[in-house]
Structure 1
Amino acid sequence: MARIALVYGTTEGQTATIAERMADVLARAGHEPTLYHAEHLPADFSLSDYEAVVVGASVHLGSHQEYVTRFVADHVDDLNRLPAAFFSVSLTAAEGSDEAWATARSLLEDFLAETGWEPDATAVVPGALKYSQYGTLKRFVMKRIAKRAGGGTDTSQNYEYTDWDEVESFAAAFGDALD
């Protein structure tokens, strides 16, 4: 079984929750996943300590977190050498239309082109509206965006659009490919 670095970036926590679920799936399959927030890596972190890697980032204002982009760019040689997967968390994907999925997929592909990374597997994962974690201005803006997209607009609650079966299937398929 493989030692897997699971490195993620998160803003409101949904990507961290998704990474944790993937780690659970990989651990149940007998692998040894270790979770790392890409902005808070230990000083002695090295991908050479792992046999595989999964990276996750969320999209905000049309881009993935800069610190995840920097992590991938800084480690691209190791990432291209190891069995690797990337998942992109996007509210755009939550809209469900073909156009929205194409946009979310395009953002994922732009990230890979920008960094030069060629992972073995990729996934677009619908995210969540976490109104409870937004400031006044962001809550207002997100509500307007959600209204246009047909999403939840009651700001007294959060809305999760992540398809957990798809997340688990993606992690399980990656884990199976390592066996």
Structure 2
Amino acid sequence: MSSFIVAYGTGEGQTAKVADRIVAALADRGHDATSVNVSEDGSDVAVEDYDAVLVGASVHAGKHQEAVVDFVSDNREALSARPTAFFQVSLSSATEEGVDQAADYVESFLSETEWNPDRIAQFGGALRFSEYGFLMRFMMKQIVKRTMSDVDTSRDTEFTDWDAVENFANDVAAFVEGRLGVPAPASDETERR
């Protein structure tokens, strides 16, 4: 069993949902995993206390949360000493047309923080029209009509591919198990024998 911390920043809660799903997938493999919102508790995280670190951030107006940028920059040396992964949540990742833009956001983040994670993933975000104020709801509806004309703006929509999130978590876990020499968890088939 390895210890994982999933440190993230979120704007509207979707990145927190992704972090929680990653924690659940890691726990299902038998690892000790916890998540922390670095915008609230980042200074309390001692990266050195964990075998592996996953960092997640969402993109708003082309930027990641400053708390996540600071967390990675402040912990760059400790991050380089252990297996790491980065995941990004954005609306750009929700469309084929936006994938290149989402990749540019990742490159900018990695360049700004001078960090080289072992694994990277990009996930679609969510539109929470019911939670936006009047002006934000109006602006988002206009943007969606131009860029995602098939989306119903009268209701909230989630674009996250949850199978991809679990596959990413399992890929990271397998990488960490291999790098640290931790035995892979027994499958259900092995346990039945």
Give the shorter-chain TM-score range.
over 0.9
TM-score (norm 2): 0.88
The residue that corresponds to 2:9 in the other structure is 9
CA separation of 1:69 and 1:43: change in aligned 2, threshold 3 A: closer
| Amino acid aligned to 2:162 | W
| Amino acid aligned to 1:143 | K
The residue that corresponds to 1:150 in the other structure is 148
The residue that corresponds to 2:189 in the other structure is none
5+ long unaligned stretches in structure 2:
178-193
Alpha-carbon distance, 1:43 to partner:
5.4
The residue that corresponds to 1:165 in the other structure is 163
* Whole-angstrom distance in 1 between the partners of 2:153 and 2:44: 44
Any idea what SS the aligned residue of 1:93 has? helix
The residue that corresponds to 1:38 in the other structure is 38
Alignment match of 1:140 (pick from 128, 138, 141):
138
Alpha-carbon distance, 1:96 to partner:
2.2
How many pairs align?
176
Any idea what SS the aligned residue of 2:169 has? helix
Any idea what SS the aligned residue of 2:88 has? strand
Any idea what SS the aligned residue of 1:117 has? coil
The residue that corresponds to 1:85 in the other structure is 85
CA offsets 1:4-53 (integer angstroms, 9 cap, x no match):
01101011100000000000000000111111001122754311110000
CA offsets 1:77-114 (integer angstroms, 9 cap, x no match):
111221000001010111223xx101101101110010
**Contact between 1:89 and 1:126, CA under 8 Å: does it hold in 2?**
yes
| Amino acid aligned to 1:36 | V
**Contact between 1:38 and 1:71, CA under 8 Å: does it hold in 2?**
yes
The residue that corresponds to 1:56 in the other structure is 56
**Contact between 1:129 and 1:158, CA under 8 Å: does it hold in 2?**
yes
* Whole-angstrom distance in 1 between the partners of 2:85 and 2:174: 13
Instruction: Show the 5 A alignment for 1:105-120.
Output: 105-120=103-118
| Amino acid aligned to 1:154 | T
The residue that corresponds to 2:186 in the other structure is none
CA offsets 1:121-154 (integer angstroms, 9 cap, x no match):
0011110001112111111111111111125242
**Contact between 2:57 and 2:88, CA under 8 Å: does it hold in 1?**
yes
> How many percent identity over aligned positions?
44
Q: Which runs of 4+ in 1 moved over 4 A?
A: none
Structure 1 or 2, whichever has the larger Rg, is: 2
Instruction: Show the 5 A alignment for 1:126-137.
Output: 126-137=124-135
The residue that corresponds to 1:71 in the other structure is 71
5+ long unaligned stretches in structure 1:
none
**Contact between 2:42 and 2:67, CA under 8 Å: does it hold in 1?**
no
